[in-house]
Amino acid sequence: MEQPVIPPRSRTLPQRWTAALAAVALSLVLAGTGCSGAGTASPAAAGGGAPNAAPVVSGPLCDLLPSGSDPGNPAALTGQPAEVALQWLPVLTTFEAAVRASGMAADLHGGSGVTILAPTDDAFAAKFSEDNLDRLLLADRDTLRALLREHLVAGSLSLADLVAAGKVTTLAGTTLTVTGGGGNARLADHADTVCADYRVAGARIHIINHVLGNLPTTGGPGGHRAH
- List pLDDT tens digits, range 63-103: 999 999 999 999 999 989 999 999 999 999 999 999 999 99
Look up the pTM and report it.
0.79
Share of the chain above pLDDT 70, in %: 73
Asked, for residue 216, whether it belongs to a domain, the answer is no
Asked, for residue 17, whether it belongs to a domain, the answer is yes
Residue (of 206, 208, 217) closest to 156 by Cα position: 206
The number of distinct structural domains making up the chain is: 1
Asked, for residue 89, whether it belongs to a domain, the answer is yes
Q: Which domain holds residue 16?
A: 9-47+56-208
Asked, for residue 102, whether it belongs to a domain, the answer is yes
Say if CB 28 and CB 112 are below 8 A apart.
no
Those residues whose C-beta lies under 8 Å from the C-beta of residue 214, and which sit 6 or more positions away, are: none
- List pLDDT tens digits, range 33-73: 333 333 334 333 444 444 456 789 999 999 999 999 999 99
Asked, for residue 215, whether it belongs to a domain, the answer is no
Asked, for residue 148, whether it belongs to a domain, the answer is yes
Q: What pLDDT is attached to residue 182?
A: 81
**CATH number, position 76:** 2.30.180.10
Asked, for residue 218, whether it belongs to a domain, the answer is no
